[in-house]
Amino acid sequence: MHFSSLTLICRQKNGLKSVFSAKCVRNAVNYVTAISQKSSNFAAQFKMMVMKKILFTLLAVLTFTSCNAQNKNEKMVNEQMKKCLVVFFSHAGENYSVGNIQVGNTKIVADYISELAGADQFEIVTHKYDGMAYTPLTELAQEEARNDERPAFEGKLENLDQYDIIFIGGPIWWGTYPQVMFTFFDTYDLNGKTIYPFTTHEGSGLGNVMSDIRKAYPNADVKPGFSIYGHEVRTNKAKVEKWIKGLNL
Ligand SMILES: Cc1cc2nc3c(=O)[nH]c(=O)nc-3n(C[C@H](O)[C@H](O)[C@H](O)COP(=O)(O)O)c2cc1C
């Protein structure tokens, strides 16, 4: 029996193939085969056949174990890469151009980022604006901005140390992020982190967020920001995808 061309191919979920060459087992099978050919005794040949079967089973087990180990390694690499966090604020309810929405525009982008970059999330949540119509909300937001207020938010961000890359996103309210995001900036020190700002807006683009983030975190590596129209987020996931893929995280 010839095993010179014997290779076992294990196809991974991601399409990669791993080739397993069971050299030791192959040599053993060759050895047993050689002995069996020399033997004229039927009982001995039968014994050899049984031994060969055992060796083949061993070969199959070894191959399976090898593929499993490789899958585990790939999982570990993915887990090690998962050092991204998306911090965002988003307001559901009556919106400027997309009607009454259950999920805010920025949250939709934050979810895309999490999906594409394997990023965890921290949502800056306040109930201060719940149920407000658009116009009174703009008036309240303008007053907050004028007074440089710091509205409270809920929840705590745990284990900030584990993240190297932080995406920060929010809607543009009166030319920059909503004031509640500045409360977050005052609370958590992101100096030393790599920051990717993003906004959703209806014409202002990034507004003043780049300079505001640099001011809040002078020692962070603040990368160029990304902005997208709020009315575009549900139909143009490709734009977010292009940005994230271009970052080579
Ligand atoms: C209080 C308020 C102020 C806003 N100010 C601006 C602005 O200055 N410039 C702009 O382009 N869009 C402005 N918008 C529109 C929002 O930025 C846009 O609808 C955004 O996508 C909303 O995101 P969200 O659903 O995640 O909260 C404002 C919206 C609100 C509610």
- Give the CATH number of the domain where residue 159 resides: 3.40.50.360
Residue where a domain stops, chosen among 19, 45, 79: 79
Query: Cβ(36) to ligand 1 under 6 A?
Result: no
- How far, in Å, from the CA of 16 to the mean position of ligand 1? 44
Query: Cβ(105) to ligand 1 under 6 A?
Result: yes
CB atoms within 10 A of CB 195: 20
Whether this model's pTM surpasses 0.85: no
What is the reported pLDDT for 61? 61
What is the reported pLDDT for 8? 42
Q: Which residue has the tokens 């001995």?
A: 44
Query: Cβ(30) to ligand 1 under 6 A?
Result: no
Tokens of 177: 């992020």
In a shared domain, residues 117 and 210: yes
| Closest residue CA from atom 9 of ligand 1 | 204
Residue where a domain stops, chosen among 26, 55, 79: 79
In a shared domain, residues 66 and 123: no
Q: Judging by DSSP bridges, how do beta strands 165-171 and 84-88 pair with one another?
A: parallel
In a domain, 2, yes or no: no
In whole angstroms, give the CA distance from residue 26 to residue 79: 36
In whole angstroms, give the CA distance from residue 224 to residue 208: 13
In whole angstroms, give the CA distance from residue 76 to residue 69: 11
Query: By residue range, what is the domain housing residue 210?
Result: 82-246
CB atoms within 10 A of CB 40: 7
What is the reported pLDDT for 84? 97
- How far, in Å, from the CA of 202 to the mean position of ligand 1? 6
In a shared domain, residues 67 and 160: no
In a shared domain, residues 50 and 91: no
Tell me how many domains the chain contains.
2
What is the reported pLDDT for 6? 40
In a shared domain, residues 88 and 171: yes
In a domain, 233, yes or no: yes
In a shared domain, residues 101 and 216: yes
- Please report, in tens digits, the pLDDT of each residue of the chain (249 residues total): 443 334 444 344 443 434 444 454 555 556 555 555 555 566 667 677 777 777 667 666 655 555 455 555 554 544 555 589 999 999 998 888 788 889 999 999 999 999 999 999 999 999 999 999 999 999 999 999 999 999 999 999 999 999 999 999 999 999 999 999 999 999 999 999 999 999 999 999 999 999 999 999 999 999 999 999 999 999 999 999 999 999 999
In whole angstroms, give the CA distance from residue 186 to residue 217: 10
